[in-house]
A and B are shown apart, each in its own frame.
Chain A
Amino acid sequence: MTSPPLRLSVNGRPVAVEAVPVSERLLDTLRWRLGLKGTKEGCRTGGCGACTVLVDGSTTLSCLTLAHEVEGSAVTTVEGVGDDPVGARVQAAFAAAGAVQCGYCTPGFVMALTGLLKERGPADGFDELLDDLAGNLCRCTGYASIVRAVTALREARP
């Protein structure tokens, strides 16, 4: 069963996607219809965070979101997040801290942290920030270098 074209904005550009089944996940629309493979497919059950994107600025698991749910919304993926000054700083901090090993979880972490930093003010606690990041899994780094990247971002905060 399909519905009218799905209209949304992806990384600042309006898109209209034809023939998206009502049951299709945003993850699959982004990856296989729009070719945005930077958003990673991990567990598809909301357990790993690899598929995290921003929907109207909020961190969202694209594997648990139906594409039609975000009709009319602004979706940001890792391909576009570098256009945002916070996103660019997060990407640079991950690279500088060596918070990247295999890199499969990295886009999800970058998106989650960007969203959290934008949602939260400077007064919000570091521990709360880390708590909120704990929904993103990394098997390579043991999180140590990721925590160093977050620390560096907090300290460099304007």
Chain B
Amino acid sequence: MSTSLRPDAAAKAAGRVVFGADLDVPGMLWGALVLAPVAHGRLRSVDLGPARALPGVIAIGADDLDTLLEGRSGDAERPAFPRETVVYRNQPVAAVAAPTLALAREAARAVRVTVDPLPVVADLDAVFPEWPGSEVGPSPRIAAHVHARRGDVDRAFREAATVVRETYRTGSVHPVALEPHACVAEVRDGRWTVHTSTQSPFGVREDVASILGLPEESIVVDGTWVGGGFGGKGSSLVEPFALLLARASGRPVRLALSYREEFLLGRTTLPAVVRMETAVTDGRIVARRVRLLLDVGASLPGRDFATGFSIGFLLGPYRAPTFEVEGYAVRTNKPPFGPHRAPFAPQCAFVVESHLEHVAYEAGLDPLAFKADHLLHEGDTTPLGQRVLPFGLPAAFEAARAVAETWRRDVPDGHGVGVGVGFWSTGTGAGGEARVRLSPTELVILQGEREIGSSSVLVGLAAVAERRTGLPRERIRVEYADTDHAPFDSGVFGSRTVGALGGAVDGALRSLLGTLAQRAGLAPPVSLAVEGGQVVVRGAGAYRPVAELLTAEEASAGGLSAEGKHYGKSGTLDESLVVDGTFYPYTDFTGAAHVAEVSVDRETGSVRVVRYAAFHDIGTVLDDASARAQVEGGVAMGLGTALTEEALWSDDGRLLNAGLVDYRIPTLGEVPPIAVTFVEGFAGAGPFGAKGIGEPPIIPVAATIASAVRSASGAHVTELPLVPERVARAFKPF
């Protein structure tokens, strides 16, 4: 275990790093988007004339795409601008560029958009108003359907001693990176270049190629420093528009969302309704039924990943011999569903944890003992038939339970202590490649991801290299290059960077060390060290300076290079259980158990979090300080999901709280001290048995807070977030 300072901290504290929003290129124009005035409607006309009449203004719409793209057709289902129908409010229908931002905004307002309104389907209730009282019938609004079952579920429910049925609702949350989406695009000599604040340069390249119908080789994506991602900068948003404006104007174009637009256009995790049914006999779960309606907004039919991936998290990390799960992704007239740090998993954990706690109370059982009895352990089989890999969640749970028991001994009146768990699988199935280069003085890791703040790139990859080679961190440098110059990587998402890209770095280093051992005539394993200021290769009892092992060609090229790849494998599910749709097996099993003490105001229902403890299995801890920082930040973000954050939509598809004053994220005074503990000994698929840590900390938080609120006040709240009104309405004698 090693701890080091972030290499980017001093430059960031001095305001010296350049984020996407800071880009300023000589001669650039300022872009602005023209947004649809209704949530659903047939476009009669988009009149760009008044904008084009303004001095120096370029304006483009759907009718210009053929010319700008020289007749190429992109993905017909998601053109840059819609031709016939708008499907969510504020969908971009045209774009403008001007010499100043003020003029660009004026030009955007001058564009006359005429739309014949169509009926707005604002939410799930508008599609299936009686659900879960009635069945889900066929509907063109269903974008995806998943269904799996094992055993005779109806019979198990008929014969059980206790059956509990509940309906849960979860709200819409926004990533709220402080830096809005921002980029500068240039098109020259057939090269489409965009400098952009993104979690995935290669992902943006693929997206832009698909939307604009361009070959990937003609596109260069250059990632800038990223002022927060949290899932919101995982795919393209502003880039295709900026590139089209640059193509039309022949000038570089900056396009950044205003913070209001960030809320209006940025992708959110949308609301869901979940029906949970559990049958218990003699303290054992005999059957479960889980049904999900997930609002996916204007997502395209057949391209939903969220439903099939997340429905397993509604079963939770628990055994269920007989079960049925069924989920529907439902399209509404909201912006497309987007990821938000462990997309939808915190909501799933809130639902399953609150429900099983309630089931235990209804069956006269101790909730923590009941959960412990059903937790999945390594070697068990998940309900969907996947064998559980090394999994520290049961150990984390026991540790959390012990803390909860201690805290409960001395909580004052009006306070309560809750426990919640969450599990996750990192996205290490998405592949990555890396190159390393060793010179006589330093080791350089060359790769294609920008540091988004989590430290997974700048600290995580260096920690892998330090551990593999033995070279101290100050001799290791992580270098970024654009999509033309870096090896391919999928992106910084899914807590995959250390596991997948780190795996590629590790592969490259093992190849490098093998070559060095051979050249030095040393028996493997060899390591690297610094002797007299020079990097040396060290074997049993002997060492050779790297400088002596390089060919003249290598020496002039900056050192000896090696490449590595990591394309992870997922486990397998029991496909015989699947009735319909696609379920996704896990690459690894990570988990956490959290404990919170809260106080609840009996008059207002407002909740204050007093103290917090988090127990995490992240496999092998490669950098203790960075991993702890991820837990602290993830818990704080989870407190927002639990208590205050909810994007509110009107019946006509309008986002009502598009700003930081009305959409409340946690502030400095609202986050309690957080004690972080890692339970070790459960190796993951990453280098040295590491598992990712970016997402897991947010997952158990809402569940933990709900449990603590119930303990404090008796309020069993079945809807997220736990705003005071909902808590107060749920008060009852405990």
Chain B binder among A54-62, A64-72, A104-112, A116-124: A104-112
* Contact, CB under 8 Å: A139 / B668: no
Q: A35-B24, A142-B632, A145-B629 are in contact. Are A102 and B227 (CB under 8 A)?
A: yes
Residues of A within 8 A of B18 (CB): 37
Chain A 40-63 interface 0/1 with B at a Cβ cutoff of 8 Å (1 = within): 111111011010000000000000
What's the Cα separation between A146 and B635 when bound, in Å? 15
Interface flag for A134 (CB, 8 Å): yes
Flag if A142 contacts B674 (CB, 8 Å).
yes
Residue B665 contacts which of A35, A41, A135, A137 (CB distance < 8 angstroms)? A137
B576 to chain A, nearest CB (A): 44
- How many angstroms from the CA of A85 to the CA of B637 in the assembled complex? 34
Q: Check A96 against B21 for contact (C-beta < 8 Å).
A: no
The answer on a CB contact under 8 Å between B9 and A94 is yes
- Which chain A positions have C-beta within 8 A of B542? none
Known contacts A38-B16, A140-B453, A98 near B9 by CB under 8 Å: yes
CB within 8 A of A139: which of B259, B455, B632, B637? B637
- Taking CB atoms, residues of chain A closer than 8 Å to B176 are 139
Main secondary structure of the interface of B (DSSP, over half): loop
- A-chain residues with CB within 8 Å of residue B8 when the two chains form the complex: 100, 103
Smallest CB gap from B12: residue in A:
A103
Across the interface, name the chain B residue whose C-beta is closest to A133: B668
Tell me whether A147 is interfacial, beta carbon within 8 Å. yes
Is B321 close to A, CB under 8 A?
no
B225 contacts the other chain (Cβ, under 8 Å)?
yes
Given contacts A98-B625, A103-B453, A104-B19, contact A47 B661 (CB under 8 A): yes
Interchain Cβ contacts under 8 Å between A and B, 15 examples: A31-B22, A32-B24, A38-B15, A41-B21, A48-B178, A92-B13, A98-B5, A102-B228, A102-B452, A103-B227, A104-B453, A106-B12, A106-B13, A139-B665, A142-B637
Contact of A142 with B178 at beta-carbon distance under 8 Å, contacts A91-B13, A98-B6, A107-B15 already known: no
**In the assembled complex, A8 has its CB within 8 A of some CB on chain B:** no
Residues in B neighbouring A42, C-beta threshold 8 A: 178-179, 259, 660
Describe A's contact surface by its main secondary structure: loop
A39 to B15, CA, bound (A): 7
Mark interface residues in B620-656 (1 if CB within 8 Å of A CB, else 0).
0000011001001111110000000000000000000
A101 adjacent to B454 (CB under 8 Å): yes
Contact B659 A45 (CB under 8 A): yes
Cα(A82)–Cα(B14), bound, Å: 8
- The contact of A43 among B625, B636, B659, by CB within 8 Å, is B659
Choose from B14, B259, B659 the contact partner of A38 (Cβ within 8 Å). Answer: B14
Is A78 close to B, CB under 8 A? yes
- Residue B226 CB within 8 A of the other chain: yes
B174 to nearest A CB, angstroms? 11
Range of interface residues on chain B?
35 or more
Chain B residues close to A by CB (< 8 Å): 5-6, 8-19, 21-22, 24, 176-179, 225-230, 258-259, 452-455, 625-626, 629, 632-637, 659-661, 665-669, 671, 673-674
| CA of A142 to CA of B672, assembled, Å | 9
A143 contacts partner chain B, Cβ-Cβ < 8 Å:
yes
The count of residues in chain A whose C-beta lies closer than 8 Å to any C-beta of chain B is 51
User: What separation, in Å, do the CA atoms of A128 and B705 have in the docked complex?
Assistant: 27
For the complex with contacts A43-B659, A100-B8, A104-B177, 7 further pairs of A-B residues with Cβ separation under 8 Å are A40-B179, A91-B14, A102-B227, A104-B228, A138-B178, A142-B674, A144-B673
At the interface, yes or no: A29 with Cβ under 8 Å from chain B? no
- Among the interface residues B13, B625, B626, B659, which one has the most CB atoms of the partner chain A within 10 A? B13
- Closest chain-A Cβ to B411's Cβ sits at a distance in Å of 22
- Residue A18 interfacial (CB < 8 Å): no
> Is the CB–CB distance between A143 and B668 below 8 Å?
yes
Give the chain B neighbours of A104 by CB distance below 8 A.
19, 177-179, 227-228, 453
A38 to B11, CA, bound (A): 10
Considering the complex of A and B, which 3 residue pairs feature the smallest CB-CB distances, nearest first?
A38-B15, A102-B453, A142-B636
Q: Which residues of A contact B632 (CB under 8 A)?
A: 141-142, 144-145
* B669 contact set on A, CB distance < 8 A: 130-131, 134
A140 partner, pick from B17, B24, B228, B661, beta carbons under 8 A: B228
